[in-house]
Amino acid sequence: MNDIISINRQFLTMAREASKTRSGEVLTGLSRGVLDRLAQMNLDEIEAMARDIGISVISLRLNEAEIDRLLALQGLQKAAYTMAIAAGVKSSSHARAFSEA
């Protein structure tokens, strides 16, 4: 449970900082509304939430096929591929874009 608390604390703190950027939604996978709410929280509130929630607030945004494709890519292609996924590019589009990679 201590690991989940630590991961939650780190993620929530990072998300709070990311809320100040235009790319916060892409970086965190959180909606602008959630980011705005986190921006209003102080560190004590973040700590309490991390400690009391009891589950991980992080979820993996890749499905099995996307993970397999990611593992087959090299170097900077991995970052470009995950950014395409995070930006909401349709699976067929990013599969085609990276098929020659």
The two three-digit tokens of residue 41, written as one number: 């929280």
Cα gap 78→71, rounded to integer Å: 8
Could you state, in order of their start, the residue ranges of all structural domains in the chain? 2-52, 64-97
Nearest to 51 by CA among 9, 81, 11: 9
Between residues 10 and 92, the one the model is more confident about: 10
pLDDT tens, 52-84? 999 999 988 889 999 999 999 999 999 999 888
Its pTM stands at 0.74
Collapsing DSSP to helix, strand or coil, 22 comes out as coil
- The whole-chain average pLDDT of the chain stands at 87
Q: Within 10 Å of residue 3's Cβ, how many Cβ atoms?
A: 8
